[in-house]
Structure 1
Amino acid sequence: MTKSTNRVYLSISAVLAVMLLLLTACGGNGAAVDNNKIGEDAADDVLELSIMTITPSAVPAADDNVIKRAIEKATHSKMSIQWVSNNVYTDKLNLTLASGDIPDLIMINDPFNSTFTKMVSQGAFWNITPYVKDYPKLVNGIPANAWETTKASDGNNYGIPRPRPVTGESFFIIRKDWLDKLGLEVPDTTDELFAAMQAFVERDPDGNGKKDTTALAAYISPDDLGWGGNIGPVLGAIESSFTGVNGHWKWDETHNSLVYTALLPETRESLLYLSKAYKAGMMPEDLLSLKLNQARELFKRNQAGIIVDKTGTMRNIYADELKKVDPNFKYTDFYPLTNLNGYNPKGSGYNGILAIPKSVPEDKMKRILKLIDTWMNEEVFNIQRFGLEGIHYKVVDGKKVVDEEKRKADNASDFNHIVNVIHLPVEKAEGTEEEVAASELFEKVELERDKTSVPDIAAGLQSETGKAILPDLNKKMQDLKAKIIIGRESIEAWDAFVNEIKEDERFKAMTSEMTAAYKKRTGQ
């Protein structure tokens, strides 16, 4: 073989190698990934990282999941994902943080979790504030208020907020078909809600001839300490509908100070209301032992008529299961309330944060930020949004027709618990007439909610005294509220508790510190 022939073979080999590299870097499986735009790292080594996050699915995505593999290919990564059930995530998170063996990227469901904030103060997590500006999707794809309200007490961000529309906060969703059958209007006050709940218990809304339905798919869990008045999303939404407050703090113009909601007379009223509802069988008898997924099962099995959740969860979590039990159920029967007593909560703009421990070297930390930034590109995020062409959807007349059963079976939406994108250009998959009607209903409700929604005015504000006393205070409050609701304690026990904390010097100090932080933020 001559030298000239050798050169020809080498040239052909080089061309083939380049072609192979380009083909490997291309986003396949229906994800139209433009490497000129998002594949700058294609020549680098594959980014290998470990991740821990929530899954709402009973069976989480496997390591060789087709959606996962497509996202890995598009982002030039290899992810080892530890999926943890919603039911036990807080416990698992605390154990993981305490162990010191922390994944490269970990979802912190509450950025003000006492364990996490303590570790942040000890330097255990990366301060990503100086780096974020280099990643345009992180800057522009996440609401500014989400970055603001997830800042630590030193004013820095120690995690990437998982964005959520401010109109997408969990609120009441009711069985409209049950209301219609019983001749009831959609409630918009707590009195009307009570009447609907009473009817759901006493008047056989499922038509099986038995008095076997409850009204409210509620639960009280230690996982919800510090949220929903310490009694969780369902019962906390009722308390907030009495107080008109989203969160724990209300601004008192008369005294020029924040007031803790436990001190409000409306909180006492809500406890009397909930106690009366529990006694009448309007919520599960085993309220204190249920977990989130078990409460959801009541709704899925046609045994409860009201739940608190996001409008967008209708199809993925509940509706298809309900149709198996009640074939007459329509997606529009899953009816979100606009307001209750004129109240609905404005979202914080985020749902948890993604944090990177300091055990990760700086160069790898930057590559993880780049991974998230790349994943937030529409063409990559669409992999989990619609699935893969030819597997989860087909294109008919220019529109994606999605096989939702297949998409759900492949855990597509689970990946939203790592990376989520909001405010994408409108690109709706083609659906049935029923699906389109439901989407229009939910969009209408969210627009109406946006007109009157109440923000959490203290979101992101911190008190050093509060960090010390709130873990114990929240636990005591949840325990006492739960006992009053199920009838083991009287309302007078609540009165005594309120009088006690009002006189506690540490409680007073926390209130002063929170008020000062609020005034500083609002320029007072």
Structure 2
Amino acid sequence: MKSKNRRRMAAGSLALILTMSGLLAACGKNSSKDQAGASGPLEVSVMTILLSASPPAADNPIKKAIEEATNSKLNIQWVSGNNYTDKLNVTLASGDIPDLVTINDPFSSVFRNAVSQGAFWDLTPYYKEYPNLGSKISDTAWELTKMQDGKNYGIPRPRPAEADQFLVIRKDWLDNLGLKVPTTTDELYTVMKAFAEKDPDKNGKNDTIPFAAYLNAPSDMASLGAIENSFTGANVKNDKWKLQDGKIVNTAFLPETRTAIEYMTNMYKDKLIPEDFASMKLSQASDLFKAGKAGMIVEKAGTMNDYYEKLKKVDPNFKPTDFYPITSINGFNPKGPGFSGMLSIPKSVPEAKMKQILKLVDTWMNDDVFAIQQYGFEGTHYTVQDGQKVINTEKLAADNGPDFNQIVYVADPYASSTKVYFPKDANDLFKSIQDERAKTSVADISTGLYSPTAVRALPEFEKKAQDLKTKIILGREPITAWDDFTAKMKNDPDIVKMSQELTEAYQKRAGGK
């Protein structure tokens, strides 16, 4: 469904033509290396992404420390991120797959087909036996990385699931006008109207824009998506689907979407968003907010410093806590997928060694072991001042510490909200709001669901839908044009087929729930 999957279809087909037979023939291979003794190091071949200029050497001190801590010997093949996908496709087709491999896109056609051919271990029955795999990787990540049969064929590479991008508002503007943080779309509209008409920055000029909105062509409503999602209750950052009455339905056909379009049309009429929002980019929206001209933007709390330094120059009274994340609107806020790629183990690895690799990854996720690549060594990569580690990031990068994050990573659950260098009152605020958001956050359940029809037909439908939404908001088409469009498309064979295929995929992933 995602554009990157479509781009890889051709490459995937070519790779599969090279045949999966070699891979399957290798499933039964064994060697003395596979049978690490209880006291000897476990030898593991790894293929992963390299994002820095040069890879760690075999005797890299950080690598050696990780090996000692995990009782392993790692033979790592570092592949440039620029051509990792091509290299991975060729490797999957060859059958000569390393013991542990980074799968940058779990939903590519090549990996899906490799899984369907039985090329990778189903980790579902095993991973809960390892405490860090269960506790330091969110349930959301495990759920959304399930393949079409409802099983997990890799360890998700964790990212924070909570505190995804949502509405951030100028708290000082609210205070200047005696307004509370909005919790509903009605309250939000009242606030935006006040931001437009009542001089919230108290400079005596009518020069403020309530919401720094922008679009991403051809099918992403970008920051306006936060408004639409607050009506539909669906997280549709990527693909526009919602679970309703047990079926996956396109949000275009929900009555709440029509209401959202009318709401956004009124926003434009009342000058609550930039006149040129349809042609604006993210950088321009950010610049508008940084210049102190806009009262609201879609961002993560963890980006506060990016805005604070600029805003402080415009308004010396601006405080970090004035960069205020709205908890929810209409009880909705978005949850992130909680992962970025995953680590998979081919069936060519015997079961006993597969379990040892899971143990290796689990041990690597221990706080003291992960700290090796996160901080390096005291006196070399960091010093301790007032009880805090002060990292020499240049030295740590030179010794490739961050590169090992491409193999094993542990995500701070509050990383999207808080930073060690934020003031305590800001971190306390952002953490408390994240905790409240976690009670109502909604994930994009369509992540990873596969529909052959959607791969072919969805992009054109989404483009038409966004084009029409934009024209209605700009006043170039009436709202009845949306009624005509959805009435015509609701029974379109491709739309019907997409919904059926995605519903079946969801049911399989959910185990028939």
**Cα deviations by residue, 1:147-185 (Å, 9 ceiling, x for unpaired):** 232223244556543323443332222111121123221
Matched AA of 2:332: Y
Residues 204, 259 of structure 1: CA spacing in aligned structure 2 closer, same or farther, 3 A cutoff?
same
* Match status 1:477 vs 2:475: no
Residues 138, 176 of structure 1: CA spacing in aligned structure 2 closer, same or farther, 3 A cutoff?
same
SS of aligned partner of 1:191: helix
Q: Indicate if the aligned counterparts of 2:123 and 2:154 stay in contact, CA closer than 8 A.
A: no
Q: Indicate if the aligned counterparts of 1:346 and 1:453 stay in contact, CA closer than 8 A.
A: yes
CA offset at residue 263 of structure 1? 0.8
The match for 1:340 among 329, 337, 341 is 329
**Cα deviations by residue, 1:480-523 (Å, 9 ceiling, x for unpaired):** 32333334433232222211221112222222333444455374
Moved more, 304-313 or 170-179: 304-313
Residues 436, 328 of structure 1: CA spacing in aligned structure 2 closer, same or farther, 3 A cutoff?
same
Cα distance in 2, alignment partners of residues 344 and 257 from structure 1? 22
1:484-523 map, 5 Å: 484-519=472-507, 521=510, 523=512
The match for 1:376 among 365, 389, 402 is 365
CA offset at residue 71 of structure 1? 5.5
Q: Normalized against structure 1, the TM-score is what?
A: 0.66
SS of aligned partner of 2:148: coil
SS of aligned partner of 2:169: strand
Cα distance in 1, alignment partners of residues 215 and 40 from structure 2? 46
* Match status 1:117 vs 2:112: no
The aligned counterpart of 2:429 is: 441
Cα distance in 2, alignment partners of residues 284 and 129 from structure 1? 51
SS of aligned partner of 2:234: coil
CA offset at residue 449 of structure 1? 1.9
The match for 1:182 among 171, 177, 183 is 177
Q: Indicate if the aligned counterparts of 1:163 and 1:421 stay in contact, CA closer than 8 A.
A: yes
Cα distance in 1, alignment partners of residues 479 and 87 from structure 2? 38
Matched AA of 2:143: E
Cα distance in 2, alignment partners of residues 319 and 416 from structure 1? 29
**Cα deviations by residue, 1:426-466 (Å, 9 ceiling, x for unpaired):** 9xx9978x711111112211222223334445554443433
Moved more, 267-276 or 451-460: 451-460
**Cα deviations by residue, 1:78-108 (Å, 9 ceiling, x for unpaired):** 8868678xxxxxxx99xx6699689975644
Cα distance in 1, alignment partners of residues 389 and 320 from structure 2? 18
Cα distance in 1, alignment partners of residues 290 and 176 from structure 2? 19
Matched AA of 2:425: A
The aligned counterpart of 2:30 is: none
1:98-497 map, 5 Å: 105=102, 107-108=104-105, 111-112=106-107, 116-117=108-109, 120-121=112-113, 128-130=120-122, 133=126, 136=130, 137-138=132-133, 140-155=135-150, 157=152, 160-222=155-217, 225=219, 230-232=220-222, 234-247=223-236, 248-253=240-245, 257-315=247-305, 317-348=306-337, 350-354=338-342, 376-382=365-371, 389=378, 394-396=383-385, 399-400=387-388, 402=390, 420-422=409-411, 435-497=423-485
SS of aligned partner of 1:162: strand
Cα distance in 1, alignment partners of residues 436 and 118 from structure 2? 39
Matched AA of 2:190: A
CA offset at residue 201 of structure 1? 3.6
The aligned counterpart of 1:19 is: none
The aligned counterpart of 1:26 is: none
SS of aligned partner of 1:217: coil
Q: Indicate if the aligned counterparts of 2:157 and 2:343 stay in contact, CA closer than 8 A.
A: no
Q: Indicate if the aligned counterparts of 2:182 and 2:188 stay in contact, CA closer than 8 A.
A: yes
Residues 131, 430 of structure 1: CA spacing in aligned structure 2 closer, same or farther, 3 A cutoff?
closer
Cα distance in 2, alignment partners of residues 472 and 220 from structure 1? 17
Residues 264, 390 of structure 1: CA spacing in aligned structure 2 closer, same or farther, 3 A cutoff?
same
Residues 430, 341 of structure 1: CA spacing in aligned structure 2 closer, same or farther, 3 A cutoff?
closer
Matched AA of 2:467: D
CA offset at residue 186 of structure 1? 0.9
The aligned counterpart of 2:25 is: none
SS of aligned partner of 1:184: coil
Q: Indicate if the aligned counterparts of 1:63 and 1:80 stay in contact, CA closer than 8 A.
A: no
The aligned counterpart of 2:95 is: none
Matched AA of 1:510: M
Cα distance in 2, alignment partners of residues 106 and 294 from structure 1? 34
Cα distance in 1, alignment partners of residues 405 and 460 from structure 2? 33
Matched AA of 2:434: E
> Percent same amino acid at aligned positions?
44
Larger relative contact order (Cα-Cα within 8 Å, sequence gap ≥ 6): 2
Cα distance in 1, alignment partners of residues 211 and 440 from structure 2? 24
Matched AA of 2:231: F
Residues 122, 334 of structure 1: CA spacing in aligned structure 2 closer, same or farther, 3 A cutoff?
same
Matched AA of 2:112: V
1:5-24 map, 5 Å: none
Cα distance in 2, alignment partners of residues 237 and 181 from structure 1? 25
SS of aligned partner of 1:304: coil
Any stretches of 5+ residues in structure 1 without a counterpart?
Answer: 1-39, 54-60, 85-91
Residues 72, 384 of structure 1: CA spacing in aligned structure 2 closer, same or farther, 3 A cutoff?
closer
Residues 188, 205 of structure 1: CA spacing in aligned structure 2 closer, same or farther, 3 A cutoff?
same
Q: How many residues align?
A: 444
Cα distance in 2, alignment partners of residues 70 and 303 from structure 1? 49
Cα distance in 2, alignment partners of residues 249 and 131 from structure 1? 28
Q: Normalized against structure 2, the TM-score is what?
A: 0.68
Q: Indicate if the aligned counterparts of 2:50 and 2:403 stay in contact, CA closer than 8 A.
A: no
